[in-house]
């Protein structure tokens, strides 16, 4: 039922069509040759969509694995930094000790955040 400006209602037909049906109608071309073109276009689009959606999941899996690898490596670097490198640099009063202290910690913390987001870790993020 459709409401009319004068307050009345009018019964109009309603159609449910698929996305492919909508694309077929919306292209506007007519004739047998146009119908073949539209069908081929819709099929090619659907095939492309299927291949991209499958690739996207695989790509995200490798991104998550790479993020985990980066985090684990940076965590190891951070452990060596805090236990060995930073104390040595500080002992010889190297300006690098202060310059790198926050950078190393920030790098591992950022990698931990990305890893926890991509790999679904619920534990607290710490460097």
CA–CA separation, 105 and 81 (whole Å)? 9
Long-range contacts at 118-125 (CB < 8 A, ≥ 24 apart) = 118/60, 118/63, 118/64, 118/67, 118/68, 119/64, 119/67, 119/68
Domain ranges of the chain: 2-119
pLDDT at 10 over 90: no
Between CA 3 and CA 15 the distance in angstroms is 18
Closest CA to 108 of 80, 63, 82, 70: 70
The whole-number pLDDT of residue 76 equals 92
- The predicted pLDDT at position 121 comes to 65
Q: Is residue 109 over pLDDT 80? A: yes
So what's the pLDDT on residue 55? 59
Cα–Cα dist 82/78, whole Å: 6
Closest Cα to residue 112, out of 63, 55, 72?
72
pLDDT digits (tens, 9 = 90+) for 46-81: 888 887 776 555 666 788 888 899 999 999 999 999
The model's confidence at residue 91, banded by pLDDT at 50, 70 and 90, is: very high
Per-residue pLDDT reduced to its tens digit, 17-50: 998 988 888 887 788 888 888 899 888 888 888 8
pLDDT of residue 83: 93
Cα–Cα distances in Å, from 100 out to 72, 92, 109, 114? 19, 15, 14, 21
Answer yes or no: pTM beyond 0.85: no
């Amino acid at each position: 039922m459709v409401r009319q400006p004068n307050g009345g209602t009018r019964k109009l037909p309603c159609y449910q069509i698929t996305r492919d049906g909508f694309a077929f109608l919306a292209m506007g071309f007519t004739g047998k040759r146009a119908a073949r073109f539209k069908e081929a276009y819709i099929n090619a689009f659907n095939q492309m969509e299927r291949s991209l959606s499958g690739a996207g999941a695989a790509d995200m899996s490798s991104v998550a694995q790479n993020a985990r690898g980066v985090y684990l490596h940076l965590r190891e670097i951070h452990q060596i930094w805090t236990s060995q490198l930073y104390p040595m640099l500080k002992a010889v009063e190297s300006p690098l000790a202060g310059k790198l202290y926050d950078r190393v910690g920030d790098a591992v913390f950022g990698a931990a955040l990305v890893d926890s987001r991509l790999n679904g870790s619920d534990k607290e993020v710490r460097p």
